A and B are shown apart, each in its own frame.
Chain A
Amino acid sequence: MKRPKKKRSVKAVVIGVSTGGVEALRTVLMALPASFPLPVMVVAHIAPESGSGLARLLDDLCSIRVKEADEFETAVPGTVYLAPANYHLQVEAGGVLTLSVDAPVSYARPSADVLFETAAAAYGDELAGVILTGAGGDGARGLEKVRRMGGIVVVQHPDDAECSSMPLQSLMLVRPDYVVPLKDVASLLIELAGTSAHHEKECTYAE
C-alpha cells in the first residue's frame, strides 16, 4: 500500500517503538548511513533502570551516530537522539530538544505521543513520523498530529511487526502515507531525506 510520493522536503524524522524495539531499531538504524542528512529522534519504551545502555549499544553497531538526548541540545543531521529512560523527549522551535518528567502519557514515559506532537509543532509539514512494533497505543495520537500538520506518516506493516498493536492503533486513527515492512523503513527514510538533501544543498549558499 503506497501513496504517491510527496514532493516536499523533510527536515526531521521521529520514531516511536515499544515491544521488540531493540531489534527494530537495530534493523532501521544500522541501515542508515553516517551521512544521513536529517536528525532522527526516537522514543523507545525501555526500563527506567537501563540508563543510556541502549544508546551506547546502537552507537557501537551503527554507522550513524546514536546518542541519548541532552537537555537543550540542538538536533543536528546525521544523529539519532534517544529519549532518556524515564523522561519525555520534546522538540522545541528550531529543533532544540528538551526533556520533561511530566506524568506518563499513553501509559508511557518517554511517550511517542509527546515526541510526535511537539516535533509536529516544531517542524510542521517537514516531519516524517514513523511508528514501529509495540504493545499498547502510544504514538497514534502523536502521529495524528503529524498528519494534521501536513507531515509524512509511516507505519510498519502490522503483519511484519513483532507486536502489531502500536501499528494497528496508528492505522485506525491516521491515514498513512506509507505502510512498509521493517526492512524497508531505512530505505524509505533515505528516499524521503533525498529530496530534502537536494533542497538543503540549494539553500546552503544562501545562508
Chain B
Amino acid sequence: MREDELFDIEMRLLLDGVRLVYGHDFTEYAEASIRRRVTQWLSSSKFATLSEAQAQVLRDPEVFDSLLRGITVNVSEMFRDPHFFKVFRQQVIPYLKTWPFVKIWLAGCATGEEAYSLAILLEEEGLAERCRIYATDLNGAVLETARKGIYHLRDMQRYTRNYLASGGRASFSDYYSALYDHAIMASRLAERMVFAAHSLATDAGFGEMHVVFCRNVLIYFKPSLKERVLRLFNGCILSGGFLCLGVKETIDGRDVACQYDELAPNIRIYRKRYEAPEKKTVR
C-alpha cells in the first residue's frame, strides 16, 4: 500500500478515536486542510507515524491538547478584507444603532484578531456600551491568547493598512501600546467580550443574537457540517439580524438561504428577513 493511502487510513482511525474519547469531531472537516495540519503536527512531534501517535493521543490528554492545537490553529488578521468591514460599517451599523442592546456571536474567533477589529469598529460608531461580543472557539488555548490581546508588533503595520482601508476614523495606534516586539490591545476593548469554548460540530446554539460573525470557518467544513452550522446560526439570529461570512463563503443552495437577503453583492453579509407580513401579529 502507498504511504499516503496508509496515512489517510491512520488519520481516519485517529480522528475516530479522538471523537470517541474526547468528543471533538473532525470527521466532517474537509480532508485536504486537516491532512496538511495533521501532517505538520506529526512532523513536529516525536512520533514517526500516526499509528504510533494514536496510543498516546487517546490516553494522554496533554498529547491530545498538542494535536488539538495543531489541527485547529486558525490564522487570522485584523480587519481582514477591509472592504467587508467598510460595508459592515456603512450598511449594518445603522441597523445596530436602532437596537437598545446588540449581541454579537463571533464563532471560531481563533486568537481574537477579528473580535478586536469589531470592538474597535463598534467603539468608533458609539456602540461600545451597548454591545457584547461572544467570542467562541473550540480550542481553549487560542481563547487565552484572544483574552490577553497581545500580538506581534510586526503585524501592526499590515493591520493599520487594513484598518485605514476599512474606513477607520482614528489612528490605529490609539488602540494598542507597543512593548518590545509586542502590541498590547487596549484593555477597554476586551471588556465587551465574553470568551467561551464552543464546538460548532457538536455543541448547541448560543441564545438569541443580532449578529453572527463566522468568517473563513465554514470553508473547512464538508457540506453536511456546513448545513448543520448554518441551521445552528439561523436558530440564534433574530429577525432583522445579520449573518456575516467570509468573502468566499455563501449560503446559496443551503436550506436557510430562503430566509436571508444578501446586503451587497459578494460581500457575504446576509440579513434575516422578518416573517411574512400575513403571519405578523398586529400590536
* Residues in chain A within 8 A of chain B (CB atoms): 70-72, 84, 86-87, 90-93, 98-103, 114, 117-118, 121-122, 149
In whole angstroms, what is the CA distance A103 to B36 when docked?
Answer: 11
Residues of chain A lying within 8 A (CB to CB) of residue B33: 90, 98, 100, 102
> Which single residue of chain B is at the shortest CB-CB distance from A122?
B32
Contact residues of B between 223 and 253, Cβ < 8 Å to A: 223, 246-250
In whole angstroms, what is the CA distance A175 to B99 when docked?
Answer: 64
Residues of chain A lying within 8 A (CB to CB) of residue B30: 72, 90, 92, 98, 100
> Which single residue of chain A is at the shortest CB-CB distance from B37?
A102
* Residues in chain B within 8 A of chain A (CB atoms): 4, 30-33, 35-37, 73-76, 80-81, 216, 218-220, 222-223, 246-250
> Which single residue of chain A is at the shortest CB-CB distance from B74?
A101
Secondary structure class of chain A's binding surface, majority of residues: mixed
Asked if B216 contacts A101 (CB within 8 A), the reply is: yes
* 26 pairs of residues in contact across A and B, judged by CB atoms under 8 Å: A70-B248, A70-B250, A71-B218, A71-B249, A72-B30, A84-B248, A87-B248, A91-B32, A98-B32, A98-B219, A98-B220, A100-B30, A100-B32, A100-B33, A100-B219, A101-B246, A102-B33, A102-B36, A102-B73, A114-B36, A117-B36, A118-B35, A118-B36, A121-B4, A121-B32, A121-B35
In whole angstroms, what is the CA distance A96 to B220 when docked?
Answer: 13
Residues of chain B lying within 8 A (CB to CB) of residue A101: 74-76, 216, 219, 246
Query: Considering residues A98, A114, A117, A149, which has the most beta carbons from chain B within 10 angstroms of its beta carbon?
Result: A98
Query: Considering residues B33, B73, B222, which has the most beta carbons from chain A within 10 angstroms of its beta carbon?
Result: B33
Residues of chain A lying within 8 A (CB to CB) of residue B218: 71
CB distance from B21 to the nearest CB of A (A): 26
In whole angstroms, what is the CA distance A69 to B33 when docked?
Answer: 16
Secondary structure class of chain B's binding surface, majority of residues: loop
Asked if A99 contacts B75 (CB within 8 A), the reply is: no
Asked if B219 contacts A92 (CB within 8 A), the reply is: no
> Which single residue of chain A is at the shortest CB-CB distance from B33?
A100
Residues of chain A lying within 8 A (CB to CB) of residue B220: 98, 100
Q: With A98-B219, A99-B219 given, is the CB distance from A90 to B32 under 8 Å?
A: yes
CB distance from A38 to the nearest CB of B (A): 20
Q: With A101-B74, A101-B219, A102-B75 given, is the CB distance from A118 to B32 under 8 Å?
A: yes
Residues of chain B lying within 8 A (CB to CB) of residue A118: 32, 35-36
CB distance from B248 to the nearest CB of A (A): 5
Asked if B216 contacts A92 (CB within 8 A), the reply is: no
CB distance from B5 to the nearest CB of A (A): 10
Residues of chain A lying within 8 A (CB to CB) of residue B248: 70-71, 84, 87, 99
CB distance from B257 to the nearest CB of A (A): 15
CB distance from A10 to the nearest CB of B (A): 19
CB distance from B148 to the nearest CB of A (A): 20
In whole angstroms, what is the CA distance A87 to B220 when docked?
Answer: 12
In whole angstroms, what is the CA distance A190 to B213 when docked?
Answer: 45
Residues of chain B lying within 8 A (CB to CB) of residue A100: 30, 32-33, 36, 219-220
CB distance from A143 to the nearest CB of B (A): 16
Residues of chain A lying within 8 A (CB to CB) of residue B247: 84
Asked if B219 contacts A71 (CB within 8 A), the reply is: yes
> Which single residue of chain A is at the shortest CB-CB distance from B34?
A100
> Which single residue of chain B is at the shortest CB-CB distance from A48?
B81
In whole angstroms, what is the CA distance A72 to B219 when docked?
Answer: 8
CB distance from B8 to the nearest CB of A (A): 8
In whole angstroms, what is the CA distance A117 to B39 when docked?
Answer: 12
> Which single residue of chain A is at the shortest CB-CB distance from B35?
A121
CB distance from B252 to the nearest CB of A (A): 9
**Apart from the given pairs A92-B30, A101-B74, A121-B35, 12 other A-B contacts in the complex at a CB distance below 8 Å:** A71-B248, A71-B249, A72-B30, A86-B80, A86-B81, A87-B219, A87-B248, A101-B76, A101-B216, A102-B75, A117-B36, A122-B32
